[in-house]
Amino acid sequence: FKDMKNRPAGGHGMNVLLVGTDGRDKITEEERQKYRLGGAPCHCTDTMMIVHIAANRERASVVSLPRDSYAEVPAHTDQTTGAEHGPHPIKLNAAYAEGGPQLTVRTVENMTHVKIDHYLEVDFTSFMRTVDVLGGVSICTAQPLKDSYTGLDLSVGTHTLSGGQALQYVRSRHVDGASDIGRMQRQQRFLAALIERATSSGVLLNPMKFRDVTRAVLGSVRADQGFGTDELLDLGRAMRNFSPSSSEFTTVPIGQMAYMAKGIGSTLKWDDNKAAALFQSLRDDKPLAPPHKAAHAKTVRVEVAPQQIQVQVENGTPTDGLGKRMDGALAATGFRTTG
């Protein structure tokens, strides 16, 4: 993206645009049937998140961008037809189909005014391989999750999901009536669990293990040229003090759920003011939500007469008679002692 012009000013920390596409070229026939992946890909983005890693590498802030968000793409050349297009409105996930990663980054930067430092694209195959390399990811479900479209079928409780099962989990839209919003929430929960898995298993602390995972991941995902194995290894070393509890997740605030756009249909219109404040926090390298100050409870003084308290004194020192003297002192002030 170094050749891109008119970009936002860089801030503190690192911003990674994490994109999940529906690419499935390397899926085996067995996987297609088992995980219900037989449909034709639309070559668009199913998932889009800005992952902000703080300058001190001790906090990660993740903002989900709904795929049906109303967006306006800048002028560009269609990567499929070669046709020149002026600026026009689209749903956010269509930017990838029209202009690939570069147009996707340009569109997100125009909407958020956040400079994207790196781009990471995960398709169905690379997603499954990444989860499997980590040995699966544990998810706790408070209610049964069943989706006949993806084949997801999880009972209440904790499950260690394989790559294929994890893909079912993050793709499912028909389990709770919340459609895309519910799916984004599950994707965020899964990413939190993935971070927990990577940190608790010692991946970040073991250079050899982290290198193996990094090579496996980068061997199956699409990343910008400046985000290779060495850069990820440096990032992993810098994040050795990172704690999963310092991760924070949110979705860009929505102002209108069914914003009708000519030629596009129903879209999600962002709340301009709230979204601007959210992205300003990313630019300023600040937490998305201010830390809650614990309310100091007022000390309540309770009067209790010494005569109501019975005390037994034991001498645990080598000084003879100290316990007896302490017993007498307490008795003199009114405490009931055992003598």
Joined together, the tokens standing for residue 204 give 């970040």
Please write the tens of the pLDDT for every residue from 200-212.
666 666 667 777 7
Please write the tens of the pLDDT for every residue from 132-178.
888 889 998 888 888 888 888 999 999 999 989 999 898 887 776 65
The domain ranges of the chain are 14-283, 306-337
Q: What is the CA radius of gyration of the chain?
A: 28
Count CB atoms within 10 A of the CB of residue 138.
13
Q: pLDDT tier at 89 (50, 70, 90 boundaries)?
A: very high
Name the CA dihedral angle for 137, 18, 79, 221, rounded to a multiple of 10 degrees: -40
Phi, psi of 16 (to 5 degrees): -115, 125
Q: Structurally, what CATH architecture does the domain formed by 14-283 represent?
A: 3-Layer(aba) Sandwich (3.40)
Asked if pLDDT for residue 47 goes beyond 90, the answer is no
The Cα 193–Cα 278 span in angstroms is 24
Return the closest-CA partner of residue 41 out of 57, 24, 17.
Answer: 24
Joined together, the tokens standing for residue 170 give 């993050």
Joined together, the tokens standing for residue 315 give 């001498």
**Burial environment of residue 70 by CB neighbours within 10 A (0 to 12, 13 to 18, 19 or more):** buried
Predicted pLDDT at 320: 80
Return the closest-CA partner of residue 179 out of 147, 154, 151, 141.
Answer: 147
Specify the DSSP element, H or E, that contains 207: helix 207-218
